[in-house]
Structure 1
Amino acid sequence: MVADKQRVSGAEPTRTGPSRISVIGTGYLGATHAACMAELGFDVLGLDVDQAKIDALSSGQLPFYEPGLEEVLTRNLANGRLRFTTSYDEVAEFADVHFICVGTPQRGDSNAADLTYVESAVESLGPRLARPTVVIGKSTVPVGTAACSAARLQTLAPAGDGVEVGWSPEFLREGFGVEDTLRPNRIVIGTDSPRVEAAMREISAAQIEQNIPFLVTDLQTAELVKVAANAFLATKISFINAMAEVSEAAGADVMQLAQALSYDDRIGGKFLGPGLGFGGGCLPKDIRAFMARADELGVEPALSFLREVDAINQRRRARTIDIARTLIGGGFAGRTVGVLGASFKPNSDDIRDSPALDVASTISSLGATVTVYDPEALDNARQVHPELNYAHSMLEAVRDAEVVLLLTDWAEFRDADPDELAKMVAEPHIVDGRNALDPTHWRARGWTYRALGRP
């Protein structure tokens, strides 16, 4: 593996390679990548098979919430560097480099990744590639997918082996997608092709100029980078949540424990926040797909620990429900519950595998009247969980509640005034599922405060 930090002189990167880029898929990854590539000065054409999504993006409307992205989108639509289409013919004619940015959700019948969208992109694009071109995958895929995609593209394409493939995993954090695309902490490109590497260096010139590490690996290593990173982060989260289980049993305070651990620079404090656990469209499905692929490769025992990582994460949801049940006397039937948070994390409207909605829905199924408020995710939540009630404000959500659960740590909830909320609730009981509040302050204002891993 080669790793270096190439410096490019001059205020503006000099372009001697590709200047026209296509982005296949306009979900969270694709729309963010397309807009940010245009922001870097490239001519970009985004493609999706969903006409309604293309119409919305073309008019400057995002199908999801991501801070700062709408401004980047509208600015580059206006200056003409960014367009969207449903035509593979147009994309093949237009672009010098094609990025595959489609989703790879978990399969319905197993833990493995569903590669339907990746395969569809390859099958649709390949026959239209009549001239030498570069195709770079960014989708998170099981190791081995890139080599298969490369072989298939070269078989399908009139240009044959003039179509060269690389894989460059994305490392976007929802809520920070623009920053993570324009100023990533590293750029990885998996390829054995000098032409693909040169194209990726040209596209990444602005970041390389900022001394952002640029790593060249083989295809398989590049595919493993993303899933290995997510597996490590998920393990770190589940580790501190396992310590929360022990802390509760021992009468210790997991927040103090996490703080003490964070001062060890071998461990650090990031992703060491105990609470309800992880969700979203990446960590849960990626660690399960990683386990499934390891099984296919005959090395299943190497990743068997990830089963317990997943199990610990799920237990946090059950434990949160148990704490709330205890606070209201042992049962939810006929009780009123207020839930703060629906998205899987703050600064996002993503509800995929949301721990907050899972807890809210479970409590509702146990007979409670559950009202949910979230600053951005209510529309998405209504579509998936119509059985829940939804409020337009935090105060409305907790009206007459016998217990309040803080399940997504939006700043609005962290900064909530306990006296204001006390005026609205039936009983001042709160379960802090994210360890986001100051227990001393809330208890001093008359609240019964409980949190995961704290006495």
Structure 2
Amino acid sequence: MKISVIGLGYLGTTHAVAMAQLGHNVIGIEPDSSRVQALKAGNLPFFEPGLEDALRQAISSGKISFQSHHDDLSAASDIHFICVGTPQISGQQSADTSYVFAAAGQLAAVLKPSSLVVGKSTVPVGTARHLITKMQEVSGFVPRLCWNPEFLREGTALADSMLPDRIVIGSDDPEYNQALKGCYQTMIDQGIPVLELDLETAELVKVSANAFLATKISFINAMAEIAEASGADAVRLAEAIGLDNRIGKSFLRTGIGFGGGCLPKDIRGFIARADELGVGDSLAFLKEVDQINLRRRQRIVWLATEELGDIKNKKITMLGISFKPDSDDLRDSPALEIALRLQALGGVVTVHDPVALENLDKKSSGLISEADLSTAVKDADLMILGTEWADYKNLDPEAVSSLPRIKTIIDGRNVLNVDSWQIAGWRIIAPGRNIVNV
């Protein structure tokens, strides 16, 4: 098929490459000319394992190209995927859908009646019907529109695109569904289930899934608060309840909580949309989910203060600042926020990360950025593991013990082998755990 992918951020770039790998002819459209040039050269504007190699293969095969605006060739595409961002509006809870409507309006000006428009952006329920009306005002006809939510995880995005758990299609017409299923036929032939839904249900799938995952994370972190107050071990608690097949162990890990560009803004936008629909009480619990998550960040600051006393002029090393491993994404990163809070208290904070240091902005200028791990931890009074990169999980505590001064680590992700670190002479502190340090 001939496909256009509108918006070449994280979602759009990944989806465009995946479509090319499926054998489709893809045109990626992105108004940021510098990003277009980078992609044409085979360079990703963000870090995602395996995606850059796949991008270059797609370019070499001639299956993918990039441009900054629609032309006759892109307008003739069989399917147009809208993949632009829906960030949280500054100072509000709601999602900003202006990029979706802008992209749809530009597409409507050149849209062919036979083409299928497919929304992949995460939007408030009800957006798709509004979009149909707005596009019709420009095009002069009712667009053929489906909603096809994405389920990418940063760090495994290409694999998630090629082998998703399910394909969700929402529309008002089974014929639209058939056209989109043709695009995904290779996946369907591999046995990946397809759910054909109405537009509103399809819009709800991604945001409700994210709300559930956020709730699960905050639940175990709420149990960590109880464990800290009672002397219990929340890590072993999570292990015990996770073996119940009605619950499962995924997303039941205590620590500093979730962040990134999806879960936080999606649950806040979901709350805002429920309020608009007059059913805000239905999602009132998500407000506490959000608050529990944010409290975990302050908990690490409190643990650091308890350990060091006055933070002022103390040397603290933060291991990891991306919101999760295998990503350079700093959006709403718990580790970065903790580092900034400690720096605001007067701490001399050095940050290390395998890939994300280049993304530190001017607001983080008070932090010391250090690319060499041994230099980053040298002379520190305290080390905090903020992102569970393999580099940190595999650290040799004996080797780090040879460095002067530092002898205490806060394991913010509960991924270190406590016994190994203690044998090497370390004092190890972890949220939700009653660890006895000799």
- Aligned counterpart for 2:366 among listed residues 376, 387, 392: 387
Distance in 2, matches of 1:255 and 1:100, equals: 41
Question: For the Cα contact (< 8 Å) 1:92–1:128, is it kept in 2?
Answer: no
CA RMSD of aligned residues (A): 1.0
CA displacement, residues 282-339 of structure 1 (integer Å, 9 cap, x when unaligned) = 00000000000000000000000001000000000000111111111x2210110011
Distance in 2, matches of 1:235 and 1:148, equals: 29
**Cα distance, 1:90 vs structure 2:** 4.2
CA displacement, residues 198-235 of structure 1 (integer Å, 9 cap, x when unaligned) = 11110111111111110000000000000000000000
CA displacement, residues 46-88 of structure 1 (integer Å, 9 cap, x when unaligned) = 0010000000001100000001101110001111100001122
Distance in 2, matches of 1:383 and 1:261, equals: 43
Percent identity for Structure 1 against Structure 2: 49
1:176 aligns with 2:147: no
Structure 2: give runs of 5+ residues left out of the alignment. Answer: none
TM-score (norm 2): 0.97
What SS does the corresponding residue of 1:449 show, helix, strand or coil? strand
Distance in 1, matches of 2:408 and 2:112, equals: 66
TM-score (norm 1): 0.94
1:412 aligns with 2:391: yes
Distance in 2, matches of 1:151 and 1:132, equals: 17
1:327 to 1:29, Cα distance in 2 relative to 1, 3 A: same
Partner of 1:133: 115
Distance in 1, matches of 2:400 and 2:306, equals: 21
Partner of 1:338: 317
Question: For the Cα contact (< 8 Å) 2:84–2:100, is it kept in 1?
Answer: yes
- Aligned counterpart for 1:429 among listed residues 403, 408, 420: 408
**Cα distance, 1:119 vs structure 2:** 1.0
**Cα distance, 1:91 vs structure 2:** 5.6
**Cα distance, 1:414 vs structure 2:** 0.3
- Aligned counterpart for 1:155 among listed residues 137, 140, 143: 137
Partner of 1:302: 282
**Cα distance, 1:155 vs structure 2:** 2.2
Distance in 1, matches of 2:363 and 2:83, equals: 25
Partner of 1:350: 329
Question: For the Cα contact (< 8 Å) 1:26–1:102, is it kept in 2?
Answer: yes
Partner of 1:265: 245
1:450 aligns with 2:420: no
Query: 1:25-424 counterparts in 2 under 5 A?
Result: 25-90=7-72, 92-158=74-140, 160-161=141-142, 163-328=143-308, 330-424=309-403
Distance in 1, matches of 2:322 and 2:403, equals: 23
Distance in 2, matches of 1:221 and 1:374, equals: 39
Question: For the Cα contact (< 8 Å) 1:47–1:91, is it kept in 2?
Answer: no
1:99 to 1:91, Cα distance in 2 relative to 1, 3 A: farther
Distance in 2, matches of 1:42 and 1:132, equals: 18
Which deviates more from structure 2 when the two are superposed, residues 348-357 or residues 187-196?
A: 187-196
Question: For the Cα contact (< 8 Å) 1:258–1:273, is it kept in 2?
Answer: yes
CA displacement, residues 417-453 of structure 1 (integer Å, 9 cap, x when unaligned) = 1122222241301000000101121111111100000
Question: For the Cα contact (< 8 Å) 1:140–1:169, is it kept in 2?
Answer: yes
**Cα distance, 1:360 vs structure 2:** 0.3
What SS does the corresponding residue of 1:304 show, helix, strand or coil? helix
Question: For the Cα contact (< 8 Å) 1:276–1:320, is it kept in 2?
Answer: yes
Distance in 1, matches of 2:18 and 2:397, equals: 41
Distance in 2, matches of 1:454 and 1:90, equals: 61
